[in-house]
């Protein structure tokens, strides 16, 4: 019997580290999920939707009320008008939107470009479509895109470029100049752009999120992916959405309808009602997570860790080079055993090894009490190292 597809792919680093955290009793500040409750008003709306009989299949493209709420949200945040009927598709989290988009447009022999450290769902989806993922490494500690290098990587087979902005796990944001360079490159080579913008509302230090939707040259050739799991602190709900021009949306939906078809109906109605009643529900996210980032940076400032301030996402990188000269996977295991703190090493998000990569990723989406406990353990580790 032949091995199945992706036979060379192991268990994701998120699963591995969370399992090890449970085994050794470590505090898990690695995997990206909140340890606090969602807004009780949102929870109540789920119960209302269930009681109202919203329990059967939703329309394949998403319930109309939610798609209308999404269009209103985009108009308010990006100053862009999108048609909820032909340009918005509700998906099973951002990951399904990414997968369906890739399956819709990548075929055997095609190439797609992604930037390392890359979220681990991109490469397998491209390979499953029969394509090749061309991965361009970003160098720490700044993790900036060299657009001249990207230009050299484009071939006659390149069909798609994936841009994660804000970038997980690099914790950086793309500038207006980055998007201008991307727009010029995409037009020169007639590329489709897949924008992973699930952390759109989590940017720090008065930065502005530059969405692909806001630049007309990119809006016309982009699929942009979002996640209510991130926006509403409900990662387990798995409700995301994709926004694209009508022809691109039609192609995405042809895959989506045979992938998940529709998404949990009461959750869609609850989110729609919540956004109608709280149309600026996301407005405080940058300040909320920014305070947690600053708490971490301030209380670890004198420990010798390298802490390049996160520009976006609800993560923060921690450089440990002053305390250990080992690879990040080894360090993360040591931190787990000795300090009982679970983190995520960055190297598994690269295809090619990066010399001197000495960073692990911390998640800020935790209660202050959880962060303080992690900070105390990290301080003690630094003192004893």
Give the residue numbers spanning the domain of 364.
13-31+284-384
- Residue 196 pLDDT: 98
* Structure confidence at residue 16 as a pLDDT band (50, 70, 90): confident
Same domain as 247, residue 364: no
Distances (CA, A) of 81 to 196, 217, 291: 19, 15, 32
Instruction: Give yes or no: residues 112 and 192 share one domain.
Output: yes
Question: pLDDT band for position 380 (50/70/90)?
Answer: very high
Task: Kindly report the pTM of this predicted structure.
Answer: 0.96
DSSP type of residue 138 = P
Residues 24 and 65 both lie in one domain: no
Tell me, what CATH number does 291's domain have?
Answer: 3.90.1150.10
Domain count for the chain: 2
In the prediction, which pLDDT does 168 show?
A: 97
- pLDDT single digits (tens) 152-208: 999 999 999 999 999 999 999 999 999 999 999 999 999 999 999 999 999 999 999
Q: In this structure, are 125 and 221 located in the same domain?
A: yes
**Model confidence pLDDT, tens digit, residues 299-354:** 999 999 999 999 999 999 999 999 999 999 999 999 999 999 999 999 999 999 88
* Together in a domain, 89 and 163: yes
Q: How far apart are CA 30 and CA 341, in angstroms?
A: 8
**Confidence class of residue 1 from pLDDT cuts 50, 70 and 90?**
confident
When the pLDDT of each residue in the chain is averaged and rounded to a whole number, the result is 96
Residue 362 to residues 120, 171, 300, 313, 342, Cα–Cα distance (Å): 17, 10, 13, 11, 8
Q: What does the alpha-carbon distance between residue 59 and residue 72 come to, in Å, rounded to a whole number?
A: 19
The pLDDT score that the predictor gives to residue 175 is 97
pLDDT of residue 3: 86
**Residue 2 in this model has a pLDDT that exceeds 90:** no
């Amino acid at each position: 019997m032949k091995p199945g597809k992706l036979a060379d792919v192991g268990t994701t680093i998120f699963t591995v580290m969370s399992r090890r955290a449970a085994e050794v009793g470590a505090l898990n500040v690695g995997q990206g999920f909140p340890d606090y409750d969602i807004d009780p008003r949102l929870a109540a709306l789920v119960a209302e939707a269930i009681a109202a009989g919203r329990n059967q299949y939703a329309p394949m493209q998403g319930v109309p009320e939610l798609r209308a709420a999404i269009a209103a949200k985009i108009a308010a945040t990006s100053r862009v008008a999108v048609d909820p009927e032909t340009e918005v598709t509700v998906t099973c989290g951002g990951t399904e939107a990414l997968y369906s988009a890739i399956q819709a447009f990548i075929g055997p022999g095609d190439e797609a470009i992604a930037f390392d450290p890359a979220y681990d769902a991109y490469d397998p989806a491209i390979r499953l479509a029969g394509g090749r993922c061309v991965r361009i490494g970003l160098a720490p500690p700044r993790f900036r895109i060299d657009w001249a290098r990207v230009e050299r990587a484009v071939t006659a087979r390149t069909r798609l470029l994936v841009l994660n902005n804000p970038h997980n796990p690099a914790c950086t944001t793309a500038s207006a100049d980055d998007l201008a360079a991307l727009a010029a490159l995409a037009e020169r080579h007639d590329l489709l752009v897949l924008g992973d913008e699930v952390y759109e509302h989590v940017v720090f230090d008065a930065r502005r999120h530059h969405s692909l939707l806001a630049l007309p040259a990119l809006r016309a050739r982009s699929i942009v992916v979002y996640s209510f799991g991130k926006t509403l602190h409900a990662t387990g709900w798995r409700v995301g959405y994709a926004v694209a021009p009508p022809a691109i949306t039609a192609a995405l939906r042809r895959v989506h309808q045979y992938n998940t078809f529709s998404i949990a109906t009461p959750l869609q109605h609850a989110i729609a009602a919540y956004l109608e009643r709280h149309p600026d529900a996301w407005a405080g996210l940058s300040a909320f997570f920014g305070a947690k980032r600053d708490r971490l940076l301030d209380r670890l400032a004198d420990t010798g860790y390298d802490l390049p301030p996160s520009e976006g996402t609800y993560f923060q990188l921690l450089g440990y080079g002053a305390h250990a000269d080992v690879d990040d996977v080894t360090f993360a295991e040591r931190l787990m055993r000795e300090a009982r703190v679970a983190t995520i090493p960055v190297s598994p998000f690269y295809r090619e090894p990066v010399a001197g990569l000495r960073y692990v990723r911390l998640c800020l989406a935790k209660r202050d009490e959880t962060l303080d406990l992690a900070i105390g353990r990290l301080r003690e580790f630094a003192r004893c190292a």
